[in-house]
Structure 1
Amino acid sequence: MDTRHMHYFMALAETLHFGRAAKLLHMTQPPFSRQIALIEQKLGVKLFERNSRHVTLTPAGKHFLDDCRTVIAQFDAACRDVRLVASGMKGELRFGFMMHAAHSVVPRLVQRYSEIRPDVRLVLEERTPTEIDDMLMVGKLDAAVTFAPGYSPHLRTIHLAKEKLRMIMRADHACANKRMIGPDDLCHERLIATPTSVAPTLRSAIASYFAAGGISPNFVLEPRLQHTIIKLVAEGLGVALIPESLCSMLDESLVSKPLRTAPTLDVVLCAPITSANPAVSALMDIAAQSSC
């Protein structure tokens, strides 16, 4: 039996008339009657009581009608859903982002995407830039907000924002009252920064900033996460150059200062060009519109 047989049965169960049921299905009555008999034969159950004037459902037929309605409704829903998934209107999108992007571009992207694709389940992955690169490469992420990669022909990339770096220090630091900080102010400072293995673009920008000023930076601690860097600076273990978007969350024990000729990093949305997930295209369209 298949859904076609269920439709035969339901037509008769709902009309209780062989002629009208056959007409609804664009059939003549004799072949329709044979189909009903075949259904009862396959089930080994009498579904209808019939005589020359009346057709009625047996108790088994009434129960089967309820079940058929449920099955057909589920089948129709499955057909609708598969079309929605194929069009990107439903499904799942694995979306990665750098931690500090949660303080800038990510909330706006997520909100807008959820408005136009409410039936797509967003799986949010807060990761380091290197983890994002690796996960995009192997297909564990469908799209991600990260620093602009180098030559990456396997990725579609859309520019979202520029992120300046600022210096953070304790409020009692000797430079806390300066209006602006330059590399020469930091030549003897203990620096805390994410290692190259975790955020190569960010670390390279910091190193280049000092190199341009003829300063050899003294990196003393290299935690993976920016939140940890902020905590270590608050403990007086050094100073740090961090993305500007993180400076709004500093507590009163810390201050941030602008840098002369501050390093600026491009923040982008990336997705593999070969992505088979149709839910990605709407996210990329939103990013493209916001970058115009």
Structure 2
Amino acid sequence: MALIAFSLAFVEGMQRNAVRPSRNSSRYIQYGYAVTRSINLRQIEALKAVIENGTISRAAEILHVSQPNMSKLIAHLEADIELQLFERQKGKLKPTDHAMRLYDEIGRIFAGVRQVENAVEAIRRQEQGTLALGVMVTLASSFAPRVISRFLASHRSMFCSIDTLNSLWIVDGLIARKLDVGLVGPMADSPYVKLEPLMKCPLVCIMPLGHHLVEKQVIEPSDLHAAQFVAFPSDTFLGRKIAGVFDSYKVRPKIVTVADNVPTVCQFVAGGLGLALVHPAALDGLEHRLAIRRFEPEVSYYFQLCRSVDSKKANLVDAFAEEVRRVAAEISTTIRG
């Protein structure tokens, strides 16, 4: 991205002009912090890429650098900050707690950079209005684009930006006025935002085409006992809700993998790894790759439209919210039909 490239050049320019100690120096103070050497933006990008892609080779491809150079970036970053960021296990890199704490901060920084870039683009195009949207991953691939396309069709002078974030970050963005509208999960809450439930309906059971349970029209908990199952993390709202049903019926599926978002879970199931329970709104476009069956007892789940209580773009937000409601109603009708 242009802004990141500019930031990188700026940081590196400062570092070339700065007095830098050797690696044998014990400590020195720069900008009020005690570090061996100052880190640079390229190292931060490398850390982010390795954590998100899992391997040095894939991260190197993403950043268009050689694998040895990527390894050096990570090694130098660990040396510069004097923290171990990865554990080497059987040829693979496992992020340490230190790395994940840094990754959380990096995510906030890059989200802010994207917002600045979007603002620059809006100013350049001299748009009459802008709307910044925060969308959880589950609704980002199908639902949100459907809403935005319709909204822009009737507001042709508008400029919309969309950030895919977790629900808590979306609420933070609304409070900080970095976002105008959010589409979040059921656990998001704050006295500084208005929340409106959307598409409340039962979860469905999805399975690979050709699975032996395809013959059944309704899947019950007992059907999932010892069956290969793709689960959500146990510390998430949906993961806890599904685990609670299994505990109530004393069934123990065979958890083959865990994924923290619905699109990834669906891809695992379509690939033949096992079964899963998901909200049907996430299945748009996957109907020909998965078998979908009703699950009983019903386990309800819903999403929320989220907005600031004192938005300065109330009219635009109202118009967008109305489009969200229309699309949500259409999907709910299809699901019940």
TM-score normalized with structure 1 length: 0.57
- Whole-angstrom distance in 2 between the partners of 1:102 and 1:277: 22
- Whole-angstrom distance in 1 between the partners of 2:287 and 2:151: 32
Q: Which residue of 1 aligns with 2:302?
A: 266
Residue pair 2:189, 2:195 contacting (<8 A) in 1 also: no
Kindly state the Cα deviation for residue 181 of structure 1 after the two structures are TM-superposed.
0.4
Kindly state the Cα deviation for residue 93 of structure 1 after the two structures are TM-superposed.
1.0
Q: 1:237 to 1:288 in 2, by over 3 A?
A: closer
Q: Which residue of 1 aligns with 2:332?
A: none
Q: Secondary structure at the match of 1:161?
A: strand
Residue pair 2:171, 2:190 contacting (<8 A) in 1 also: no
Higher relative contact order (CA 8 A, sep 6+): 1
State the one-letter code of the partner of 2:317.
Answer: V
Are 1:283 and 2:320 an aligned pair?
yes
Q: Which residue of 2 aligns with 1:154?
A: 192
Higher radius of gyration, 1 or 2:
1
Q: 1:272 to 1:149 in 2, by over 3 A?
A: farther
Q: Which residue of 1 aligns with 2:207?
A: 169
- Whole-angstrom distance in 1 between the partners of 2:289 and 2:154: 41
Q: Which residue of 2 aligns with 1:239?
A: 275
**Within 5 Å, which residues of 2 pair with 1:69-88?**
none
Kindly state the Cα deviation for residue 94 of structure 1 after the two structures are TM-superposed.
0.9
- Whole-angstrom distance in 2 between the partners of 1:188 and 1:170: 16
Q: Secondary structure at the match of 1:249?
A: coil
Q: Secondary structure at the match of 1:215?
A: coil
Residue pair 2:167, 2:188 contacting (<8 A) in 1 also: no
* Aligned residues: CA RMSD: 3.3
Residue pair 2:147, 2:327 contacting (<8 A) in 1 also: no
Size of the aligned set, in residue pairs, is 203
State the one-letter code of the partner of 2:222.
Answer: D
CA offsets per residue over residues 195-243 of structure 1, 9 Å max, x none? 256xx33223322332332334554422233232222223332221122
- Whole-angstrom distance in 2 between the partners of 1:133 and 1:196: 22
CA offsets per residue over residues 158-200 of structure 1, 9 Å max, x none? 2332243111112232212111101111121232133256xx3
**Within 5 Å, which residues of 2 pair with 1:1-292?**
90-102=128-140, 105-107=143-145, 109-149=147-187, 151-195=189-233, 200-216=236-252, 218-250=254-286, 252=288, 254-278=290-314, 279-284=316-321, 286-287=323-324
Kindly state the Cα deviation for residue 268 of structure 1 after the two structures are TM-superposed.
1.9
Return 5+ residue gaps in structure 2 as ranges.
1-122, 330-337
Residue pair 1:158, 1:284 contacting (<8 A) in 2 also: no
Kindly state the Cα deviation for residue 128 of structure 1 after the two structures are TM-superposed.
3.9
State the one-letter code of the partner of 1:188.
Answer: A
- Whole-angstrom distance in 2 between the partners of 1:220 and 1:229: 11
Q: 1:155 to 1:247 in 2, by over 3 A?
A: same
Residue pair 1:189, 1:238 contacting (<8 A) in 2 also: yes
Residue pair 1:95, 1:123 contacting (<8 A) in 2 also: yes
Identity of aligned residues (%): 25
- Whole-angstrom distance in 2 between the partners of 1:121 and 1:92: 5
Residue pair 1:167, 1:239 contacting (<8 A) in 2 also: yes
Return 5+ residue gaps in structure 1 as ranges.
1-84
CA offsets per residue over residues 134-155 of structure 1, 9 Å max, x none? 4445443221112233553221
Q: Secondary structure at the match of 1:232?
A: helix
TM-score normalized with structure 2 length: 0.51
